[in-house]
Chain A
Amino acid sequence: MKSRVLVVTSGKGGVGKTTTTANLGTALAMMGKKVVMLDTDIGLRNLDVVLGLENRIVFDIVDVVNGNCKLKQGLIKDKRYEALFLLPAAQTKDKTAVTPHQMKNLTNELRNEFDFILVDCPAGIEQGFRNAIAGADDAIVVATPEVSSVRDADRIIGLLEAAGLGKSKLIINRLRSKMVKRGDMMDIEDIMDILAIDLLGVVPEDETIVVSTNRGEPAVLETASRAGGAYRRIARRVMGETVPIETENTDNLVDKFKRMLKLAR
């Protein structure tokens, strides 16, 4: 299989880029793929914390691209999966410490070793964003059902198109089906109407994410976690499987009845 470089981006901060990267990376590793996650949020690194790998960091992405260490030395192996690696961001430098050209070379080098290279993009549209997308084949755009998040996602999709990443896919994160049912939250259709790109998955709002993030254990590891289940399905879609999109927000009595009829037949 040809290796793929996927950048996880959103424009707006706090919508779940890092959580998505950690969970998707772990889920792909669970499926037996060799995966590396790149944290490009230089100066504000988080991905290592979410994965619980903070205390293993010796070298970082800036050291690797500047040749202060070998690529192999910079990669941190995950505690749980042999085939999962992290290249952490530097915390004491800023986004200008790396150039898009260096990022492209780095991802190309990683292609020889890994099936999936997941790039965790920082918030914003400045150099951090340009670095993150430099070597990517495809983009995954994360948005929450809020007008501000959707607006920023739209901006990001436009910039990705301009950069030649025309086939980005969307993950709608933190959807609260109860609020959608009450009409207090944008529903999937509202968001798809505006963004008009393929939907990769819908992740429900789930308190277990907070717990797992604080503990440094991605939610996909817990079979009971609803968000974790959503991320596992997203990973299967990334692998090319056809998995129906969760539509619990549209699940009303009529739909349930229709399903029962279908089952009866």
Chain B
Amino acid sequence: MLTAAKEMFVQDTIDLSPYQRFSDMKHGLDQQLTLLKCPHGTQIALAMGKRRLTNRELKELELVMLSHGVYLKDIVGDDGESARDKPLIDNMPHYQETMLLCKNVRSGQKLASSGNIVILGDVNPGAEIVAGGNIVVMGCLRGMAHAGALGDQSAVISAYRLRPTQLRIADHITRPPDNEVVSVKNPEVARIRDDKVVIEKLKI
């Protein structure tokens, strides 16, 4: 593992895939970093093979690296692709115009914009938000939201609490399943994946 490691700057990836247990992996990383003596501020990627890290494990590895004065550059999976989840901000389509509203949108009220709409408040049942671009609700989205209303399939709808009566993205219309009460207690994002509207945990 350490054969090519003597030359600094050359190695920018440490292979952690041989370790089975996380405690061994952490210890191994610590040892390798001690041997490498990288200059402060070096960015190092970690190769994980097939293994997926939890957020907590990732934090712990980062702390080990920080104690050696190096930073985590990336997590590399089996295929050489980055195994880290791409932040949402990369995937959101860009719109120049954004409408910002700092109040609750109540039943019977309608908001429309050809660009993004950002609401600092709740959107109540019976209210309608229609945006050509993305929709962000920094509160509870209980009403109807339509993102990408002009046909943008890549538009997203995100909310601090996503409990809509109906969601529309471009020409897709979805509603929550009947007879199923799901109360997720974290921010979520809705987007089109494989021609279906899916709801995912919001990662930034």
Contact = CB atoms under 8 A, between A and B. Distances in A.
Interface in B27-54: none
Nearest to A166: B103
A196 B107 contact: no
Contact of A194 (B108, B109, B124): B124
Interface residues of B, number: 11
B104 A155 contact: no
A152 B125 CA distance: 10
Q: Which bracket fits the contact residues of A? A: 10 to 19
Nearest to A153: B107
A122 B107 CA distance: 19
B191 interface: no
B106 interface: yes
B166 to A, nearest CB: 15
A159 B108 contact: yes
B128 interface: no
Q: Which secondary structure dominates chain B's binding surface?
A: loop
B125 A151 contact: yes
A154 B103 CA distance: 13
A196 B104 contact: yes
B104 to A, nearest CB: 6
Nearest to A158: B106
Interface string A170-196: 000000000000000000000001101
A161 B104 CA distance: 11
B142 interface: yes
A155 B140 CA distance: 17
Contacts of B142: 194
B122 A196 contact: yes
B126 interface: yes
Interface of A: 151-152, 154-155, 157-159, 161, 193-194, 196
Given A155-B108, A158-B106, A158-B108, 18 more contacts: A151-B107, A151-B125, A151-B126, A152-B107, A154-B106, A154-B124, A154-B125, A154-B126, A155-B106, A155-B126, A157-B106, A158-B107, A159-B108, A161-B106, A193-B140, A194-B124, A194-B125, A196-B104
